[in-house]
Amino acid sequence: MRFVRVAAEGEIPVGGRRMAFIDGNVIALFNVGGTVYALDDSCPHAGSSLAAGVLDGPLVTCRAHGLRFDVRTGRMPGAGGLCAKVKAVEVADGEVRVGVEADA
């Protein structure tokens, strides 16, 4: 896995979100309580942007159909349900980096 810089640490305030583009993929970044989490920006239900959704604590609500996902795990609250793809995040030297699969 390689990590790609997507933002400066201060560019995503607590409670904020931001979109990033890595290798043609759109990533949604969320700052919950000072920790940055990353998901594929596409809702697994119908592909709507999760970064454009409403963030309430660790839950983002998809604007298309109201499905909610925990940005820490990608899972819907409760048992079962759809799951958004979580990306690894590291914050170092004032930069936010997202993990992507290393080229084979």
Amino acid letter, 20 = A
Q: Is the pLDDT of residue 54 over 80?
A: yes
Q: Is the pLDDT of residue 103 over 90?
A: no
pLDDT at 11: 95
Number of domains in the chain: 1
Per-residue pLDDT tens digits for 39-48: 999 999 888 9
Q: DSSP assignment, residue 76? A: P
CA distance 104 to 17: 31
> Going by DSSP bridges, is the β-strand pair 86-87/68-70 parallel, antiparallel, or unpaired?
unpaired
pLDDT at 71: 97
CA distance 32 to 80: 23
Q: Is the pLDDT of residue 15 over 70?
A: yes
Which residues, 6+ apart, have CB-to-CB distance to 95 below 8 Å? Answer: 5, 7, 8, 9
* CATH number of 85's domain: 2.102.10.10
Q: Can you give the residue range of the structural domain that contains 75?
A: 2-100
| pTM of this prediction exceeds 0.85 | yes
